[in-house]
Structure 1
Amino acid sequence: MMHRKQFNRRKNKMENSIAARCRNKFWIVFLALFVFWHPLFYGFNWFSFPGIASPAKQAAIFMEAFLADPVRIRAGTVVKNGGFEDAGKELKLKQKDDACAGRYIYMHDLPGRFNEDLMKECKLLNKWVDMCDYLVNMGLGPDIGNRRFLQSRGWFSTNQFSLEPIFHSRMKQYECLTNDSSRAAAVFVPYYAGFDVVRHLWGDFNASVRDSGALGLVKWLREKPEWGFMGGRDHFMVAGRITWDFRRLDDGDSSWGNKLMLLPECRNMTVLTIESSPRDKNDFAIPYPSYFHPSTDDQILQWQSRMRKQRRRTLFSFAGAPRPNLDDSIRGQIIRQCLKSRTKCRLSECKPERRKCDNPVYVMRMFQSSVFCLQPPGDSFTRRSTFDSILAGCIPVFFTPASAYVQYLWHLPRNFAKYSVLIPEGDVRGKNVSIENILSGISNSRVSAMREEVIKLIPKLVYADPRTRLKRIKDAFDLTVEAVIDRVKKLRKEMREGKDSSLDFDDEHSWKYYAFGTVAEHEWDHFFSKQISSTRQN
């Protein structure tokens, strides 16, 4: 009995040993097969054999296309007829020639309190004018219709401070929008900064109330993953008022504006304004919205042709009001010179009760009949009137380079003498010059050449109707977006290289760097020699 038990124990032990050895050999064989088959299965292109293509291959093509452009795949524009073959073809073509490569824009979906809700408070957006009338048609204002001196279509009664909804509406139609922020060349922030601040510019509002919207915006942006890519340096926004409304230097309740553009986050962003600060690096001026918003290329071409044929019987004109409360204003001298040159100058004093200067038909009629249009500074350096005059084919006359030459760098020629005249404001203030004599002394041939340059500028300075899209012509919006993308591309390159070109100059000379690419001594230095104080425009 004892021998049988010992025998059984030895038998079981041997069977267990044999089973263990088999299990070990099985795992060794399995491992060897895995090592052999893994590179063979994954490393070899089985799809190269005809007839092997399968639904798995189609699924792989679809997934690759989806990762490359999830927006178009979701929209169903790549997958056709229920199959994935076209998706692969589309992807190959896309990789070779993507019209939007390097041009994609990601637009933040901001809470309504930062943009569209502000339009609902339209009665608070202007102390003197009911802005509700101007915000129809996506911010273009009421359609003027067929009027004498204007074309039958494309003309609207547009308020000069309506840029934010107009630009936002155009961005919604931008052909290279993307839902994938990692592909974006730049990130648009559709914040209506001007509409936000203007509600609190007049009245009993303290500084904290005026800053609340701006502070809420930057807090919202910081919490988004897109902000971390470049710390906001790839972000841009539009502020449809002059820069001084957003540069309050202290927290006194009686100080003007808010401090949006002085916030660290906004100093990283590109801020587009209708008037920028010549001394700061993060804001850039783009054209005021004028009255013409063409919906087709032909409307622009027809208007340009009409302005070339226009008869101009008045040598120069001025539309504006005096500024007796501003000691440095030269408007009083300009009005006196215009009155003295009655046969050569046409004057329209902009009085609130008459509202002629807010009438597009009246303004365009006066400018169309003039060879030169005077554009002196008002409450600030720039004027919407500058763009109205160019639209009418009237040669602008400036009295400081801060009114246009160092402002609209993306839209106006660097050779300012080709399209305009500069009469130093100091000469007018000192009564050392006659505006009539200077303008009369310009030869007819030069006047014709300058007018042609002005008329060529028209497409670059208008904002097309957001409800349509121009086919061949680039308008102010197109040029602005291109310039922003180029700027962000440069900033991105500098970040990779650990550089910062803004360290090459200080704020005092930034206007020269952006206008001429150098901070060397310049003939306009005396225009900017004194500290530019914060001003406001009503």
Structure 2
Amino acid sequence: MDEKPTMIIRSHNNNHQLWFAILISFLFCTLLICFDYSKTFHTPNNNLLTFSLNKQQNTDSCTNRYVYIHNLPSRFNHFLLQNCHFLTRGTDKTNMCPYINNMGLGPEIKNHNFEGKNDNVLVPNNTWYATNQFLLEVIFHNRMKNYECLTNDSSLASAIFVPSYIGLDVSRFLWVSNLTVRDSSGFELVKWLVEKPEWKRMFGRDHFIVSGRISWDFRRQFDDLAYWGSKFRFLPESMNMSMLAVEGSSWKNDYAIPYPTSFHPSMDNDVYQWQNKIRHQKREFLFTFTGAPRPELEDSMRGKIIQHCRGSSVCKFIDCSYGVENCDNPVNVMKVFENSVFSLQPPGDSYTRRSIFDSILAGCIPVFFHPGTAYSQYRWHLPKNRTKYSVYIPVKDVKKWNVDIEKVLLGIPENEVIAMREEVIKLVPKIVYADPNTKLDKFEDAFDLALKGILERIENVREAMREGRDPSVGFADEDHYKYTFSGEKY
């Protein structure tokens, strides 16, 4: 009888000891786990932390795409628009005020039939405008304002945008004999820029500017009235910046981007609808030329082409001189290009012409006579393989002209013509600037491709600086200009 209670008491004590041992073990294990957890999430080189940070960085779609916009004094941009009556298109002194409407797109063109007698499909409203080519810098700036990767912290920016309307500004003084006046705005701009902390980071090599005029308008090499333009791009500070312009030069930091056309889609369907129209367009003429004669230029290529076109029953010539044909009206221009299989694109007052992009927009295959007109220019927007979308007829000496354009074009097999036209139609979204208030979902437009290109170029310069290589961008680059402007490589 006495043993049983003792056994019960001993058993009870053993249970207490067992539970105490379990409790101690649990606490010890918990401490070990916590210690290991602490090491895992607080050791800087731990793989889990690196994975976590990388995952967070990968979710930022703006990595390496952030752009900071300088807040320039208004005299460099908005002042010019507010005083647009002082701005002209050039020697014709046409007032620019109507063209600054709609964020630089110009007056809207409503309910026009661009296809003439072939069908009755009307273009949608809010997509076509009487756009002036010199307003590119305004259009680009308004697109930049709605860019999805803007930042107010310049230290995060991959590129710095300088929103100066430098083309509109210099246009007031290009014909002024006082060279100091021509150059004054450029000097003021670089003086303002170099005082900013953003400049000191890469001394302007991460800065870019946009011009609606050709880059040669800013590259006067000598202080002599016999030389054209301002010397803005030869200022040491400016030479570090990149310029996007409707026509580049042979200098490494000039990049050509398309002239603005009159089509500014606001959604993908606008592009699809237009492509479908021009794909099924019946074309009455084999080729066309739209432009003005240059009687003051003896034996000019343009004169020869006009002469050839007028002498052909399958060519349509639109004379843009002195208002003979209203070439400022996009409706007139589009109707001609849409009714033509090919468009002749000789150099204009400079190597390039807006007409190149108007013709592509109409599904008209461009015919080039000089490599500087397109092939050595729009590297981000046009195919590297020139034969896919265009015809090249080299003309090195107009005085020795022995080309029968009609015969050359008639000799191209029909299946090749169809393939080239389809390639041209595919180019449409790449050479138009979408409405600044919108962004296309399925297409990259001319703005998107230009910005992507300049970000890549600036990153290459940045990488060169990190590696101690020469980041200089102020000299000719054979890789950028594969084909010389002289045409010798053709």
User: Shorter-chain-normalised TM-score: which range?
Assistant: 0.7 to 0.9
Conserved? CA contact 2:381–2:430, under 8 Å: yes
Aligned counterpart, 2:164:
191
Alignment of 1:471 with 2:431, yes or no, is: no
CA contact (8 A) 2:372 2:485 kept: no
Give the alignment partner of residue 312 of structure 1, picking from 268, 279, 283. Answer: 283
Shift of 1:425: 2.0
Report Cα offsets for 1:115-148 as digits up to 9, x if no partner: 1101122122214211101110000000001101
Q: Structure 2 length normalisation: TM-score? A: 0.84
- Percent same amino acid among aligned pairs? 55
For residue 300 of structure 2, the aligned residue among 320, 329, 335 is 329
Partner of 1:172: 145
Give yes or no for contact 1:320–1:349 (8 Å, CA) kept in 2.
yes
Structure 1 match to 2:456: 486
CA 252–515 in structure 1, closer or farther in 2 if over 3 Å, else same: closer
What is the aligned partner in structure 1 of residue 112 from structure 2? 147
How many angstroms does 1:46 deviate by?
13
Q: 8 Å contact 1:333–1:429 — kept in the other structure?
A: no
Q: Counterparts of 1:96 and 1:375 in 2: how far apart (Å)?
A: 45
Residues 349, 355 of structure 1: alpha-carbon distance in 2 compared, 3 angstrom cutoff: closer
1:208 aligns to what SS in structure 2? helix
List per-residue Cα deviations over 1:419-456 (Å, max 9, x = no partner): 00111123654221100000000000000000000000
Please list every run of 5 or more consecutive structure 1 residues that lacks an aligned counterpart in the other structure. Answer: 1-43, 49-89, 517-521, 530-538
State the partner residue of 2:69.
107
Picking from 146, 161, 184, the partner of 2:134 is: 161
Structure 2 distance, partners of 1:233, 1:356, is: 43
Aligned to 2:400: 430
Task: Please report how far the alpha carbon of residue 326 of structure 1 lies from its aligned counterpart in structure 2 after TM superposition.
Answer: 2.8
Contact 1:123 1:130 in 2 (8 A): yes
In the alignment, what sits opposite 2:389?
419
Q: Which moved more, 1:156-165 or 1:494-503?
A: 494-503
Q: Aligned-pair distance for 1:471?
A: 1.7
On the 8 A contact 1:329/1:378 being kept in 2, the answer is no
2:91 is the counterpart of 1:133: no
C-alpha change, 1:496 and 1:434, in structure 2 (3 Å) is same
- The answer as to whether partners of 2:204 and 2:241 remain within 8 angstroms in 1 is yes
> What residue number does 1:354 align with?
324
What is the CA–CA distance in structure 1 between the aligned matches of 2:480 and 2:229, rounded to whole Å? 26
Does the 8 A contact of 2:346 with 2:369 survive in 1? yes
Of the structure 1 ranges 349-358 and 396-405, higher mean CA displacement relative to structure 2 is found in 349-358
Count of residue pairs brought into register by the alignment: 433
Structure 1 residues 427, 314: CA separation in 2 closer, same or farther (over 3 Å shift)? farther
Does the alignment pair 1:527 with 2:482? no
CA distance in 2, matches of 1:488, 1:328: 43
Find the counterpart in structure 1 of residue 480 from structure 2: 514
1:236 aligns with 2:208: yes
DSSP-derived class of the 1:446 partner: helix
Distance 1:207 1:427 in 2: 34
- Select between 301-310 and 366-375 the one with higher mean Cα deviation: 301-310
Where 2:480 maps in the other structure, the secondary structure is helix
- Provide closer, same or farther for how the CA distance between residues 356 and 410 of structure 1 changes in structure 2, counting only shifts above 3 A: same
Show CA shifts across 1:459-518 (max 9, x none).
000000001222221100000110011001100000111113769x963xx3x41144xx
For 1:447 and 1:101, how far apart are their aligned partners in 2? Answer: 42
Distance 2:324 2:84 in 1: 23
Alpha carbon RMSD of aligned pairs, Å?
2.3
* Cα deviation, residue 254, structure 1: 5.7
- 1:274 maps onto 2:246 in alignment: yes
Residue 469 of structure 2 corresponds to residue 499 of structure 1 = yes
**CA contact 1:459–1:475 (8 Å) conserved in 2:** yes
Shift in Å, 1:239:
1.3
The SS at the match of 1:238 is strand
Q: Check the 8 A contact 1:427/1:433 in 2, yes or no.
A: no
Who is 1:202 aligned against?
175
Q: Which residue of 2 aligns with 1:256?
A: 228
Q: Are 1:377 and 1:403, in contact at CA under 8 Å, matched by a contact in 2?
A: yes
**Cα distance in 2 for residues equivalent to 1:319 and 1:489:** 40
* C-alpha distance after superposition, 1:70-96 (max 9, x if no partner): xxxxxxxxxxxxxxxxxxxx9997434
**What pairs up with 1:421-460 in 2 under 5 angstroms?**
421-426=391-396, 429-460=399-430
Q: What residue number does 2:341 align with?
A: 371
CA distance in 2, matches of 1:429, 1:443: 30
Q: Structure 2 CA distance, aligned partners of 1:305 and 1:275?
A: 30
Does residue 303 of structure 1 match 2:274? yes
- Residues of 2 paired with 1:167 and 1:45: CA distance? 56
Instruction: Tell me if the contact between 2:151 and 2:157 (Cα under 8 Å) persists in the aligned partners.
Output: yes
Match of 1:81 in 2: none
Cα distance between partner residues in 1 of 2:36 and 2:230 = 65
Query: What secondary structure, in the 3-state scheme, does the structure 2 residue paired with 1:373 have?
Result: strand
Q: Quote the offset at 1:256 in angstroms.
A: 2.4
CA distance in 2, matches of 1:515, 1:197: 26
> 1:87 maps to which residue?
none
Q: What is the rounded CA distance, in whole Å, between the counterparts of 2:299 and 2:457 in structure 1?
A: 35
